[in-house]
Amino acid sequence: MFPSLTKKYRPSNTDAGDGHSEAGKMLASARSQVRLYSGETSYRVVIGGLARDLPIVEVAPQMWIASNAELILGDVEFLTKASKILAGRIRKARVDVVVTAEAKSIALAFGLSKELGHTRFLVARKSLKSYMSERLTQPVRSITTSSEQVLILTQQDAAYIRGKRVCVLDDVVSTGGTLKALEALVKKAGGIVECRAALWREGPWYRDKRLVSVSTLPVFVGSSHPLASGLPRRDERR
């Protein structure tokens, strides 16, 4: 389910040197987002001076993430601050509408759209409703789901974004599966993807420099996980 960093990128001998090459810097940055799990129960994030502790949960054998579900779904103070900061970073893209996927990022999409002065944002649904007689669809698989899902735009929503400058939004980008599916769906509808945005870039997988984000989240792995290769053990970090 989860891609391996070594499968996504194999550095050459020159890349693995002093880290000054572009590929070497990219690998070093990606590696910094992987930590050896040593029993932690929470991970602290700070955005705009607001600190929150996220619970660490296991999402696959030998892999844990800091779960932002409770934070992103209901922390009004945090969402207000985060939306303001993210809006400041994407304002220069001059997007016309924000498009996100159901359901975790809906509150963030609302806050971001409000900060940008938009009157509407769009949500790609993940289940088919009876009123969706005409629709556009795009398959998607994310890091936290065990099976393939589908993103759906109604014909009315597709017509709304046709020809418009669009920001595709997710709360966290790890492998980038949801963001890429959103982008494909927007393009099917005739929209123009001008911005890719998220609050956090998570883990080592997604390295598209066009992503606008506020902060990063590490992934935690057990000692037998492929991503653990080369990571310092707990007694080595003292």
- DSSP letter string over 161-191? HTT-EEEEEEEEESS-HHHHHHHHHHHHTT-
- Pick the closest to residue 91 from 167, 28, 144 (CA basis): 167
- Say whether 220 sits in a helix, a strand or coil: strand
Query: Domain extents for the chain?
Result: 5-236
pLDDT tens track for 65-80 = 999 999 999 999 999 9
What pLDDT band is residue 194 in, cutting at 50, 70 and 90? very high
Q: Which one is predicted more confidently, 218 or 19?
A: 218
| Residues constituting the chain | 238
- Decide: 40 and 220 in contact? Cβ < 8 Å: yes
CATH no. of 5-236? 3.40.50.2020
